[in-house]
Amino acid sequence: MDTHLGSVPVVSVLLPVYNAGRYLRTTLDSVLAQTFTDFEVIAIDDGSTDDSPAILSAYRDPRIRVVKHPHNRGLIATLNEGIELARGRYIARMDSDDVMHPDRLAKQVKALEEDTGSAVLATFVRTVNADGDVVGEWDVDRATANEASIRAMLPRTNCIAHPSVMVRRSALGDLRYDPRQPGHEDWDLWLRMLARGLRIAKLAEPLLDYRIHTESIMGAQKRSMPLERRLLVARHRFLTGALLRAEWNMVHMNVLYAQVRSLARHLRINALPALARNLHRCLTYSPIGILREQYGLRRTERTWRGRTAIFIPYLHTGGAEQVHADIAAAVRDASPLVVVNGFSTDRRFAPIIGAHATVLELPRSLNHPFWKHRTLKRLAALINAQHTPTLLGALSGSFFELLPFLHQEVPAYYLQHAFKFQPEGNVQHRNWLRYFNRITGYLFISSRSRDEFARFLHANHVPQGAAAKLHFISNAVTRFGTMQQHEQLGLIWVGRDAPEKRLPLFLALADRLERALPGAFRFTIIGPERSETPAIVRSMGLLQDGDRVAEIMAAHDVLVLTSDREGFPMVIMEAMAQGLVIASTPVGDVPLRIGPAEAVITSTTEADGVLEELTAAILALHRDRTRLQGMKAAALAKAKAEFAPEEFGAAYRALLIRP
């Protein structure tokens, strides 16, 4: 069917546009390529600040009607305006980043012409990522392929992809999108249509590519509030509106039933645990401790005049804490402020970091339900007030919570020590994706972790080009020793007593070696104090003095790393700098950055396999002292060549000190 200028089109394609320049041409081209041609496109530019207005202006097809607004009013206002402007007897929805299949309009018009009783006709959709790769299908399409399944599903969740619908203009009447329902305005409209007895149908055929990515309007709205909470809010407003209008039928009863079930589940899984957690904090956090923290914050507000703020969780013993101390030292001339949001088991790094930075410990204030918000706002105001400030976060949720209060021009970097992509996991990181566009760069101490994070981003529909935000910066060591030779071979384990470190595995290794060759080995632990430590193992406890740690390491021959999860541990670098052979599990970057010349790396992280392989390898080193000394020399040489601090300091200074 051909379009005649001045005639009333059959279909009005409603296309809201806001900062969609990257995808807009592809979207418009897919509409103009439709086999059904009797349509108009109502493209409403809602205050875009990118090149979207220029792209719209470049299209000369008379079927495209462009409406421009100088300021962003929001999606719902745009949709309602489009309904008023639409001339066609059918209104086809379309998002400015999606792609119509060539026969979408033809098949929907044909179906609505044949089925005059349907008010809304949706289609199946394919989901694509930012680069246009097909990644799946709309998750409830196959479960809702007919009118009965749609009516059954809609009270519980939205089973219709909004950009795929075609609505009969006459069926809308006075119905419009509700401005009180942002993020679920479409679902609310379908419920109100069902409540009026209108039919909603679906074509069991994919006719639209629905693009999922971090920059989408709908994606931003959905990430700002979890699905379950959005559904609870939407149902509440739908039911409240029905009561006020004195409307009630079986649709409302089904929605009420779904609301009761969801509310019970939400209370059991989310609300009650959060309430218990917050109540526990209210009862156990010392009021004096909070006041002391607030006094420290006030004093910092009066005195700190720096350029770099660093958010970290702890000051206790650990490889991550050593990295944080090295970063503070690298940018010390920027007078860094280090904000600590967790309770440290010890405070070994407090004086070390304090020698280079202002340390502000706020574990109560940044976690207490009544103090968190105001504390974050005060910290943001303090950072915003500085001259060319920058922000770095590491292992800190408070870093992400601070971002909404921070000026947009303040660069924000996040240091990710270790990361492993888990398709069904990474829940916290998926929640933090809402801030991805705000973060200037992600920093990794492990190239494998960086690659895993890139996989995670791709799986969550972040454009592949976003990998340019991921930077690898190797850690460094500052203390180098000389290679030593010992008659009794010494094994040392260094770390905290965390489950992933698997200290019991080292103790089991010590027991096996002692039974194999009594008195041939020395075993030492630096870190945790354990009452069940065997007599053959010397426990040095937590050591505050880095020089003393280096001295003890140098008196040994092999560092044993038994972890089942790491990035590239600082302790490996520190041990190699003292001329120690590394005996490690194949975690993180360990197999990538060290090899058989200076290390023994097991083929598995499974405990029994690790124990067998390390026992055999260390007994072999005991028998072949020439090989042992050669490996120690190779470890020291590699450390001097690759772990020197100059490049580390220069990399962080370039990021965290703005001109």
Give yes or no for residue 533 having a pLDDT over 50: yes
Backbone angles phi, psi at 101, to 5 degrees: -75, 150
Per-residue pLDDT tens digits for 124-177: 999 888 778 888 888 889 889 989 999 999 998 889 999 999 999 999 999 999
Q: Residue 464 pLDDT more than 70?
A: no
- Enter the tokens of residue 580: 């120690």
* pTM, full prediction: 0.68
Res. 2 pLDDT band, cuts 50 70 90: very low
Mean pLDDT of 457-475: 83
Least confident segment among 74-83, 245-254, 625-634: 245-254
398-442 pLDDT, tens digit per residue, is: 999 999 999 999 999 999 988 888 888 888 898 898 899 899 999
Is 119 within 8 Å of 199 (Cβ atoms)? yes
**Ordered structural domains, the chain, with CATH:** 11-217 (3.90.550.10), 225-283 (no CATH), 287-472 (3.40.50.11720), 489-643 (3.40.50.2000)
Give the model's confidence band at 203: pLDDT under 50 very low, under 70 low, under 90 confident, else very high.
Answer: very high
Q: Which range is least confidently modeled, 121-130, 228-237, 288-297, 388-397?
A: 228-237
Cα(608)–Cα(621) distance, integer angstroms: 20
- Per-residue pLDDT tens for 559-617? 999 999 888 888 999 999 999 999 999 998 899 899 999 999 999 999 999 999 999 99
Cα–Cα distance for residue pair 323/188, rounded to 1 Å? 50
Cβ partners under 8 Å of residue 311, min gap 6: 339, 341, 391, 392, 393, 394, 396, 398, 399, 402
Of the candidates 72, 69, 75, 321, the one whose C-alpha atom is nearest the C-alpha of residue 183 is 75
* Confidence tier at 384 by pLDDT (50, 70, 90): very high
What share of the chain in percent tops pLDDT 70?
97
User: Which of 604, 601, 610 has the alpha carbon at shortest distance from 558?
Assistant: 601
Residue partners of 74: CB distance under 8 A and separation at least 6:
46, 179, 182
Where residue 3 falls among pLDDT bands split at 50, 70, 90? very low
Could you tell me the pLDDT band of residue 5, with boundaries at 50, 70 and 90? very low
- Write down the mean pLDDT value for the chain: 91
pLDDT tens per residue across span 473-531: 988 888 899 989 999 999 999 988 788 999 999 999 999 999 999 999 999 999 877 76
Return the H-helix or E-strand segment holding 537: strand 537-539
pLDDT at 131: 79
Rounded Cα distance between 265 and 556, Å, is 56
Higher pLDDT, 318 or 360: 360
Show Cβ contacts of residue 66 under 8 Å, excluding neighbours closer than 6 positions.
Answer: 43, 45, 56, 57
The answer to whether the CB of 115 falls within 8 A of the CB of 109 is no
- Assign 587 to helix, strand or coil: coil
pLDDT at 4: 41
- Structure confidence at residue 544 (pLDDT): 73
Three-point CA angle 444, 445, 448, nearest 5°: 75
Distance CA 511, CA 653 (A): 46
Start-to-end C-alpha separation, the chain: 62
Confidence of residue 6 (pLDDT cuts 50, 70, 90): low
- Residue 49 identity: T
Look at 498 and 49; give whichever has higher pLDDT. Answer: 49
Residue that wins the pLDDT comparison between 266 and 197:
197
Q: What confidence tens digit (pLDDT) does each residue in 362-380 have?
A: 999 999 999 999 999 999 9
* pLDDT score at 225: 62
The string of pLDDT tens digits covering residues 110-123 is 999 999 999 999 99
In Å, how far are 92, 251, 296, 364, 375 from 291, measured between CA atoms? 58, 53, 9, 10, 12
Give the pair of three-digit tokens for residue 128: 């694509």
Q: Please tell me the least confidently modeled range out of 48-52, 114-118, 162-166, 543-547.
A: 543-547
CA angle 58, 60, 65 (to 5 degrees): 95
Please give the angle made by the CA atoms of 90, 96 and 98, to the nearest 5 degrees: 85
> What is residue 224's predicted lDDT score, i.e. its pLDDT?
54
Task: Check residue 457 and give its pLDDT.
Answer: 87
Tell me the Cα Rg of the chain. 31
Per the CB < 8 A criterion, the answer to whether 208 and 126 are in contact is: yes
pLDDT of 1? 34
